Structure 1
Amino acid sequence: MTKAERALETRERILKAACEVIADIGFENVSMRKVAEHAGVSKALLHYHFDTREKLFAEAMTHSFAQTGTDLDGGDAELPAAVLLGRIVRTMLPTDEELRQDWKLWQELWVRAQRDEAARQLAVDLYDQLHSWVGGAVERGVATGEFTPCDVAAVSTLVLALCDGLGIRLMLADPHVGLPAAQAAIWSAVAPSLGISPVFPNL
């Protein structure tokens, strides 16, 4: 392994550890020492890669988001557009432990964004990417004739808003909102605009 490859591997390990620690105890309780210990590196090495907690937080959020983005960008070109969109919706909800960790990071970002301009801009930038992912699936469906022509931006905004709102309820383990109900509510809300069945697709 080259020096550059070792540095990249160490950076990835630190970011993974940071995501786990922040999700576990919250950003306000995180210290660089705790992240270094969790990553199995020295504090000096951690500071070599990330000189402040704020930079580490921003990079950890971007890292976590990129992992989700890999799933969202990985749609098979042969998949029906409704199935692709359904998979995106599922990925944007806390449907497994990894995505629940992502959601905890998002919740930390929402809180910080109210007080910190850099965090606010990061959140806006990440939402822009989510909007593009959803919009891309909708545009694909319109282009293939699977969806009726619609206001793509409006549908994308609706999907994101519903995923945020219902995702919070799922994170709270609200007994009135389970995953099937959340997916059904999102789908029934957007289906009329897309001209498709209101039944969430079988993924």
Structure 2
Amino acid sequence: MRVWRPAAGPDHPPVLKAACEVIADIGFENVSMRKVAEHAGVSKALLHYHFDTREKLFAEAMTHSFAQTGTDTEDGGDTVPATVVLARILRSMLPSDADLRQDWKLWQELWVRAQRDQTARHLAVDLYDQLHAWVGGAVERGIDSGEFTECDVAAVSTLVLALCDCLGIRLMLDDPRVDLATARSTIWRAIAPVLEIDPVFPEV
């Protein structure tokens, strides 16, 4: 389950993948259309044909990147317990592997740009809205199935996002006081009393 979809369509995902890799590696301020074209193995003219500006390329690369992660949270269909779905979402929202760490680098680039650029700010807010809806959908599913107790879904979603941001940053910094298991258990213990579920993060 992923609430967003790539904005660029099916014609050039390799280009967007290449853009994500270059931006994550050297930062948006150091990115040129030439560098992305070379990394993607296409001409600069072709890149400019699809993307008028670096800013448009950045926005579509961000959307593409996040559309590729967390796609397995509902493997198994409607029979998967909501607790499992929510745990899988939390796994995909923390920088636990190389792909997710790349996503986090892109988020960090977006946060910086959003302070100075209105288009980037709107993109960040939109992506957060979709993340909020993604978490909220899992919580609502659990309430409907009787796995979770009735609660303020929006408040739980906001809490999850806030904790993921805070702890995710510390993981990206390799803070010795926070490892992945600590981050997951901290978030789970914070929401468990609200949802009335086992406070131990499930190994799913």
Instruction: Determine the C-alpha separation between the residues in 2 that align with 1:189 and 1:75.
Output: 27
Counterpart position of 2:71 = 70
Letter in 1 for 2:155: A
- 1:70 CA displacement: 2.9
1:76 and 1:10 map into 2 onto residues whose CA distance is 29
Q: Which moved more, 1:172-181 or 1:10-19?
A: 10-19
**Residue 71 (structure 1) shift:** 3.6
Aligned length: 197
Runs of 4+ residues over 6 Å off in structure 1: none
| Distance (Å, rounded) in 1 between the aligned partners of 2:167 and 2:80 | 26
Distance, in Å, in 2 between the alignment partners of 1:177 and 1:192 is 22
Query: % of aligned pairs identical?
Result: 77
Q: Is residue 49 of structure 2 the alignment partner of residue 41 of structure 1?
A: no
Name stretches of at least 5 consecutive residues in structure 2 with no aligned partner. 1-7
- Aligned equivalents of 2:27 and 2:21: distance in 1? 10
Q: 1:4 is matched with which residue?
A: none
Residue-by-residue CA offset, 1:57-97 (whole Å, 9 max, x unaligned):
00000101111253446563111111110000000000110
Higher relative contact order (CA closer than 8 Å, sequence separation 6+): 2
Query: Taking structure 2 as the reference length, what is the TM-score of the superposition?
Result: 0.93
Match of 2:195 in 1: 194
Match for residue 134 of structure 1? Answer: 135
AA matched with 1:53: R
Residue 109 of structure 1 aligns with which residue?
110
Q: If the length of structure 1 is used for normalisation, what is the TM-score?
A: 0.93
Q: Does structure 2 retain, via aligned residues, the 8 Å contact 1:75–1:84?
A: no
96-105 or 8-17: which moved more?
8-17
Higher helix share: 1
- One-letter amino acid of the counterpart of residue 95, structure 1: S
State the distance in 1 between where 2:96 and 2:83 align.
19
Counterpart of 2:100 in structure 1 is 99
CA–CA separation in structure 2 for the residues paired with 1:33 and 1:66:
25
CA distance in 2, matches of 1:70, 1:202: 18
Which runs of 5 or more structure 1 residues have no equivalent in the other structure?
1-6
CA RMSD of aligned residues (A): 1.5
CA contact (8 A) 2:62 2:106 kept: yes
| Alpha-carbon offset, residue 11 of structure 1 | 1.5
